[in-house]
Amino acid sequence: MVTWQQVLERHADLFAEVQPGASIALAPGSPPRANVKQVREAVPMQLWLRGPERMAVVAGEYRGLKSLAADALLLPEEGALDAALAHAEPLSELKRQLRDGRMLVMVMRSRKELRELGWSDFFEALGLPFQGSCR
């Protein structure tokens, strides 16, 4: 099975315009209300972080929105990320999961900020129009 790092590298063109320091957080199986309040127990999280040269998958802990510095948060159902990795085209599978409601997306920046940070191609690839900000 491929890793998310390999997927990000395979689709480097989607992240070519993303600015260093920009990131997407993925918190699979997080508690249902974790997106609106502080989480008492940390949930394992992946951070897709743009470094100087490329995107990198970094392990982290999700403790709720107040402490999250990412540009967007993906909250997939338990097992959804593994299912996507098992698919021939993991990003296409993420897109399908979004359409099927198996993953919630919370946008943490304004449309203008997301464009300036270079996320347009990535969000378009997932079929996500820019609708504004959750904050």
Domains contained in the chain, number: 1
Is residue 45 within 8 A of residue 72, CB to CB? The reply is no
Mean pLDDT of the chain: 87
Is there a contact between 64 and 21 (Cβ–Cβ < 8 Å)? no
Contacts of residue 78, defined as CB under 8 A and 6 or more positions apart, other chains included, come to: 28, 29
Residue 132 domain flag:
no
Domain that holds residue 75: 4-122
Give per-residue pLDDT as tens, 63-78: 888 889 999 999 898 8
Per-residue pLDDT at 133: 46
CA distances from 111 to 25, 56, 68, 118 (A): 17, 23, 18, 11
Q: What confidence category does residue 41 fall into, taking pLDDT thresholds of 50, 70 and 90? A: confident
Where residue 48 sits, what CATH number does that domain have?
Answer: 3.30.1050
Residue 55 lies in a domain: yes
Q: What is the pTM of this model?
A: 0.87
Residue 45 lies in a domain: yes
Is residue 76 assigned to a domain? yes
